[in-house]
Amino acid sequence: MKKLAVYIILICFSTGINAQDLNARVQVLSPKIQTTNKRVFQSLETAMKDFLNGHKWSADQIMPQERIDCTFTFNITSWDGSNNFSTELQVQSQRPIFNSSYTTTLLNVNDKDFDFTYTEGQSLDFNDQNFQSNLTSVMAFYAYVIVGMDYDTFSKFGGTPYFAAAQNIVNNAQSTSYKGWKAFDSNLNRYWLAENLNNKVYNNLRGFMYDYHRNGLDLMSENADKGRRVISGILPVLTQVDRQRIGAMLPLIFFTAKADELVGIFSKADLQEKNQALNVLTQADPSNGNKYQVLQRN
């Protein structure tokens, strides 16, 4: 009986060790491509799912139930019929809230500068030390960003080593001709996302992300008023976030993910708290001002 118990423990321990970090769902869409043979797109979908879920991205042992939920949607915009693809990539990730069925969005980004080569059945190589392919480099870049953003919400600045890994991928890609890796390609691309995540200018926003999730949202299932008061107390930090810098991508990503959620949180507050939230949010995020006006009407 003791031997059986030890055997079961070893199996559970082994399962925990082998578990990877992401629970990635991958979808490849090709409505603009005129072809009856979709096998290459199906192969790409499977290969990307295996690559993302089969790789160890974090330094910690992640239990299967702790894997980070994320979605990669490839919208193929052109294909030469061989191995050259252009696509728009939508990347999203979520985080569960303690003691509830609610999940909150951490990342929701649309990458429009994504060209790559892929041949059905090819091996997908990735190395942190050098650039090997645009396909695996982009996938690894967003995997590290997803892990880093998740870690930032559980421990203050816990995502730092993963954002550094994402920055390293950007550095390795500087000699390539692929778009999205260089500062001059666009004000909103992978270069600027990595730059913002590693720039101390945005440490106040990263610190806010920890307090917002760990000390705010995670309390709301037990005491909604207390959790909302915590969020209300830290909300003015958002007015200190510099959105005027060239390549100010991180604030945009934050508000894209959180604007609707913030409205939902404060829609149940008292009138004074609503008005305070409305004033802060319209000042910090004027582009979503119409969304926040709901708080005034409620």
What gap in Å lies between CA 215 and CA 67, rounded to an integer?
21
Global confidence as pTM: 0.92
Residue 298 has what pLDDT? 60
User: Given a cut of 60, is residue 1 above it in pLDDT?
Assistant: no
Provide the 8-state DSSP code for 61: -
pLDDT band at 247 (very low <50, low <70, confident <90, very high): confident
Which residues contact residue 25 at a Cβ distance below 8 angstroms, ignoring those fewer than 6 apart? 49, 69, 70, 71, 72
Q: Say if residues 127 and 141 touch (Cβ distance below 8 Å).
A: no
Residue 105 has what pLDDT? 98
Mean pLDDT of 76-86: 95
Least confident of 154-158, 253-257, 274-278, 294-298: 294-298
Residue 244 has what pLDDT? 86
What gap in Å lies between CA 204 and CA 123, rounded to an integer?
41
